[in-house]
Structure 1
Amino acid sequence: MNVSIIIVSYNTCELLRNCLTSVREKTCGVDYEIFVVDNASNDGSCEMLEREFPDVRLVRNRENRGFAKANNQAILMAQGEYVLLLNSDTVLENNAIGVMHEFMRAHPRAAVCGPLLLNADGTVQQSIDTHVTALSILRKSIVGTTGIGHRFFQSAYHPRSFDYFKRFQLADGWLTGAVLMIRRAVFPEVGLLDEAYHFYNEDADWGLAVSRSQWQTWFIPEAVVTHFLGGSRKTQSEEQEISFKVQYFRQNRYFFWKNLGTVQYGAFRLAAFCVCAMNLLRRAIMTAVSSSEKRLSAIFKMRLGWKLFLASLEHGGDKGFGNRQ
């Protein structure tokens, strides 16, 4: 078996159908198996799979176990020499799996490679980034909160600032987990995905572990995949949206606490506190002066700001995120 394709799905029936159809239609020259790990979907995803893709190995979870745990389930069952982690909100535009498989076979020190990702409109999507530091998280906090300094602070791997999408490249960084082809032999050395991450950041965390080993990370622009960014996230209630963003903030903090040492973790906590405090103050002022038509939206944003501010006061090991390694 050449490649074990693993797709984690949660209520993404139509996206999943399109993804699997593209795998079936575009992939050639590769012997592969497909696992779909369903995280307790209630939209008919499992029934669709059994009806339209009977060759797919379906793993049904009774609860949403998150991205990392669900992928690890199938990785432990995989028989392929290589494992392809594939988001359900992706569509292959060419024989991307065949291209990456051929590259991995020709480069025995490659632990992982990823394709060129496109947005739905055909523009290039950032799929590689430098490893996270206190400075980079501060950059993202400033840009994300105030909107200023975008070009000054942008990543060296941003499509506007670097032509990485034009050529094969040995990456000094990590690849997004939307599409990753991984040599299965590296897992005993590097480890599986950290299951403390329910969603997001597990790719950056695992990519950092690869870079600290003797293995290599490669970007393969000849393999092309469209990624409908965020398509696997459904519309949420206000409470769910607040919970999601607070959880994401905590996972960023956990990443620093686990990986980057006391100084950088302290710098992150200080930056996070300052940004969250400034954001809360801004939201409070906007709520006070908002018109009646915009009052509900302003109150929601202030509630979110308050929750994030409280989260900024927590320690990295709190909330069930395990112990520093």
Structure 2
Amino acid sequence: MVREVAEARLVVPANTRPRVSVIIVLYGRADMAIPAIAALIANSPPCFELIIVDNASPDDALELVSSRVVGATIVRNSLNVGFSAGVDVGALHARGEFLLLLNSDVFVEPGWLPPLLAALDRSPSLAGVSPVLLNIDGSVQEAGSLLFAGGVTRAVTSADRWALDFSRTVPYVSAACLLLRRSVFTKLGGLDCVYGLGYYEDVELAMELDHLGLSLGYVAGSSARHVHGASSSRERAMRRTVHNRAIFARRWQSRLDELPPATDHLTASAEVRARDAFAVDRVLIIDDRVPQTDRGSGDPRMATIATRLAALWPAARVTLLGASLDGADRYAPALLAAGVEVAACSFDGAQRWLEQRAGHYSAIIISRTDNLLRFREMVERTQPLALIVADVEAIYSRRTAMRATVMAASDPALAASCAEEAVRQREVELEGWNWAQVAVCVSREEAAEVRAVAPGTTVHVLPPVARAPERLVPYAERSGVVFFGGFMGGEASPNADSVRHLVDDIMPLLWSRRPQLALTVAGSDPTPSILSRAGERVAVIGRVDDPFHTLGARLVHVVPERFGAGVKTKLIESMASGTPFVTSPIGAQGLHLGELARHLVADHPAQFAEMTLALLDDPDLWRFVQRGLAGLAEQHFSPLVLDRTLVELMADLGAAPPLGP
């Protein structure tokens, strides 16, 4: 393969305004360099320039490379000035916004560059990023690296899929394939040449960046293969490593003394401590499970909170612990790619997991009231210094008490059981809210209730969020009515009760006026009672990939919720998608409807039918409501609102504001 590549002309794409300046320092081994350049050209978008710096190769490598590669800038040094100086010379010729330091024995793989650029575009505090480096056989050579006391380094080589899929800040990364902001590189004066021919200049760079408050990142989804040591013997490399480590350790002794010691056997606990040594803020989120973003029950909100925390504070460590393995493999990858570490295990496994990370976290967000009780003892024992945040995803005692009222006439025994459960839930809520230093609620109404019974707890409002689609579908392109919501809670859930009430009590009134009106019931895990109501005019379609597409195809979203708590994500998504809804006073809680409520909030089946028909039959009213709801979604439930509240929350937890826009 090397011979075939070497005999072909390799043309670097002409680029008057390159975004990336690729710098390859050459010292012999054209048999490696030419295939590496071929891989760069074949697997990269045409947004780069190539700068080859020859460090006085002892063989004919320069002649071979220059005769095969067309369009590269070639710089000839009269002697081997070492890797750092070679890179610095190459950077003087660079025009790109970013510099890519690329070893001549690294072969980038298809799709390697866009994820790296995207990571830097998202995070101003990231100065540089690296892909996973693989050995030629495909095994992991480096997925970021660790730094220990005394300057000892160790590559992360875990073959665990979740570890490889976890994009994160790291103590340092090898300069074998490192994409850097040229502005930061220039501010530092380039790579430090004190390390001679090579080794430890990349670790020095990491420490200099840390001193400036900047970070390096490992980016999942980007990969390159590295021969490793092709231009130097193992013995020479070891001598240089030992020599340069001593220089590095003297320079950074005070900072290195803060790091964990290196050991012959690296335990999982020691690896985590070394990995997160540079992360001042370490936030753990505990929830029932890894958020299942298409199934409701507060899961989409929690996934959004976790990913926004990781995006706003990329130098922090945000970890989500799901106390169940259910669905973890399916839903974890999106969180990992967004920079959220994910762990999933049983409750007993969670205890062992927390013990392995004893004293590691600065703040712990515990979602759902029962989890405050379940995890309190182990959190107090393993994380005694962490600030505790109670995420009041919903006030369950209120919802259960409402259900008792609804069931009183039809099922007195069930109503009595619900009333008893509501009392138990209230006791747990009061204990948990008063234990936490901070609480977050989904609405102002619920925040006021928490403040009243937990006066020593700081309370923030952190509602669900919905992003508006690029286009609001107009009236003329829609038809029918819809109920959208997940049924994870089973037959006793508010959503299951709502659909039964809708089909049995409200739709007959609508069908008496509009016999052909179609109802679509969408949402994951429809229960037997929901499936049994499917028919000619009722379509139960189950899970949908895109709620905005489903909502945007219907004229009215009907949500006759008779008991519940919190703010309903399905109605916020309805607002953002421009789909008018009719709901109950319980469903309308926390939505800031104002004057729109007189068109949208119904108390009984006949009123539900009349309000729904008014929207179906009056396009002008429908458009008025659509505009009003979309405006309220932008004002109260947009990502910008969430970000502002997260900044306030993190300030209470001791975190500095995020860097840059």
TM-score interval, smaller chain: 0.5 to 0.7
| Residues 162 and 23 (structure 1), Cα distance of their counterparts in 2 relative to 1, 3 Å cut | closer
Is 2:103 the counterpart of 1:90? no
Is 2:36 the counterpart of 1:19? yes
The letter for the 2-side match of 1:166 is D
Greater shift in the superposed pair: 79-88 or 205-214 = 205-214
Q: What is the aligned counterpart of 1:180 among 178, 181, 196? A: 178
CA distance in 1, matches of 2:255, 2:167: 36
CA offset at residue 189 of structure 1?
3.5
**What residue in structure 1 maps to residue 245 of structure 2?**
252
CA distance in 1, matches of 2:253, 2:162: 29
**What residue in structure 2 maps to residue 150 of structure 1?**
none
- Checking the alignment, whether the CA contact within 8 Å between 1:38 and 1:58 is kept in structure 2 is yes
Per-residue CA distance 1:108-142 (angstroms, 9 max, x = gap): 222000001111111111242223412x63xx7xx
**What residue in structure 2 maps to residue 167 of structure 1?**
166
CA distance in 2, matches of 1:212, 1:15: 36
CA offset at residue 96 of structure 1?
1.2
Per-residue CA distance 1:86-110 (angstroms, 9 max, x = gap): 0001111112123312332232222
CA distance in 1, matches of 2:162, 2:85: 34
Alignment of 1:142-161 (within 5 A): 157-159=156-158
CA offset at residue 229 of structure 1?
1.3
Alignment of 1:159-308 (within 5 A): 159=158, 163-171=162-170, 173-198=171-196, 199-233=198-232, 241=235, 245-261=238-254
CA distance in 1, matches of 2:161, 2:201: 25
Structure 2 alignment gaps of length 5 or more: 1-17, 262-661
CA distance in 2, matches of 1:45, 1:156: 30
CA offset at residue 205 of structure 1?
0.8
| Residues 224 and 156 (structure 1), Cα distance of their counterparts in 2 relative to 1, 3 Å cut | closer
**What residue in structure 1 maps to residue 66 of structure 2?**
50
Q: What is the aligned counterpart of 1:2 among 19, 24, 28? A: 19
The letter for the 2-side match of 1:177 is A
Per-residue CA distance 1:223-266 (angstroms, 9 max, x = gap): 1100111122258xxxxx4x6544432211000111114995xx
Alignment of 1:22-41 (within 5 A): 22-28=39-45, 30-41=46-57
- Checking the alignment, whether the CA contact within 8 Å between 2:126 and 2:214 is kept in structure 1 is yes
CA offset at residue 168 of structure 1?
1.4
CA distance in 2, matches of 1:42, 1:61: 12
CA offset at residue 60 of structure 1?
0.9
Is 2:147 the counterpart of 1:116? no
- Checking the alignment, whether the CA contact within 8 Å between 1:127 and 1:176 is kept in structure 2 is no
| Residues 160 and 32 (structure 1), Cα distance of their counterparts in 2 relative to 1, 3 Å cut | closer
CA distance in 1, matches of 2:204, 2:111: 28
**What residue in structure 2 maps to residue 278 of structure 1?**
none
Per-residue CA distance 1:5-37 (angstroms, 9 max, x = gap): 000111120110011000111111x42110111
Aligned to 2:194, the other structure's residue is in SS state coil
**What residue in structure 1 maps to residue 367 of structure 2?**
none
The letter for the 2-side match of 1:4 is S
Aligned to 2:246, the other structure's residue is in SS state helix
CA distance in 2, matches of 1:115, 1:177: 11
Give the structure with higher Rg (CA): 2
Aligned to 1:42, the other structure's residue is in SS state coil
Per-residue CA distance 1:56-95 (angstroms, 9 max, x = gap): 1111111111111100111122110000000001111112
CA offset at residue 43 of structure 1?
2.4
CA distance in 1, matches of 2:252, 2:160: 27
The letter for the 1-side match of 2:41 is R
- Checking the alignment, whether the CA contact within 8 Å between 1:118 and 1:125 is kept in structure 2 is yes
CA distance in 1, matches of 2:183, 2:146: 24
CA offset at residue 160 of structure 1?
5.5
- Checking the alignment, whether the CA contact within 8 Å between 2:206 and 2:215 is kept in structure 1 is no
The letter for the 1-side match of 2:247 is Y
**What residue in structure 2 maps to residue 286 of structure 1?**
none
**What residue in structure 1 maps to residue 535 of structure 2?**
none
CA distance in 2, matches of 1:103, 1:58: 29
| Residues 246 and 218 (structure 1), Cα distance of their counterparts in 2 relative to 1, 3 Å cut | closer
- Checking the alignment, whether the CA contact within 8 Å between 1:131 and 1:208 is kept in structure 2 is no
Is 2:82 the counterpart of 1:69? no
Number of aligned positions between the proteins? 242
The letter for the 1-side match of 2:200 is N
- Checking the alignment, whether the CA contact within 8 Å between 2:143 and 2:164 is kept in structure 1 is no
CA distance in 1, matches of 2:256, 2:101: 33
- Checking the alignment, whether the CA contact within 8 Å between 1:156 and 1:162 is kept in structure 2 is no
TM-score by length of 1: 0.68
- Checking the alignment, whether the CA contact within 8 Å between 2:132 and 2:143 is kept in structure 1 is yes
The letter for the 2-side match of 1:190 is L
Per-residue CA distance 1:32-63 (angstroms, 9 max, x = gap): 11011111113222212222112111111111
Aligned to 2:204, the other structure's residue is in SS state helix
CA offset at residue 219 of structure 1?
0.8
CA distance in 2, matches of 1:193, 1:131: 19
**What residue in structure 1 maps to residue 97 of structure 2?**
81
Structure 1 alignment gaps of length 5 or more: 141-154, 236-240, 269-325
The letter for the 1-side match of 2:125 is R
CA offset at residue 222 of structure 1?
0.8
CA distance in 1, matches of 2:43, 2:256: 48
| Residues 221 and 232 (structure 1), Cα distance of their counterparts in 2 relative to 1, 3 Å cut | farther
CA distance in 1, matches of 2:129, 2:114: 12
CA distance in 2, matches of 1:106, 1:245: 37
The ranges of structure 1 where at least 4 consecutive aligned residues each deviate by more than 4 angstroms after the TM superposition are: 160-163
**What residue in structure 2 maps to residue 106 of structure 1?**
122
Aligned to 2:195, the other structure's residue is in SS state coil
CA distance in 2, matches of 1:258, 1:185: 24
CA distance in 2, matches of 1:89, 1:67: 14
- Checking the alignment, whether the CA contact within 8 Å between 1:157 and 1:164 is kept in structure 2 is no
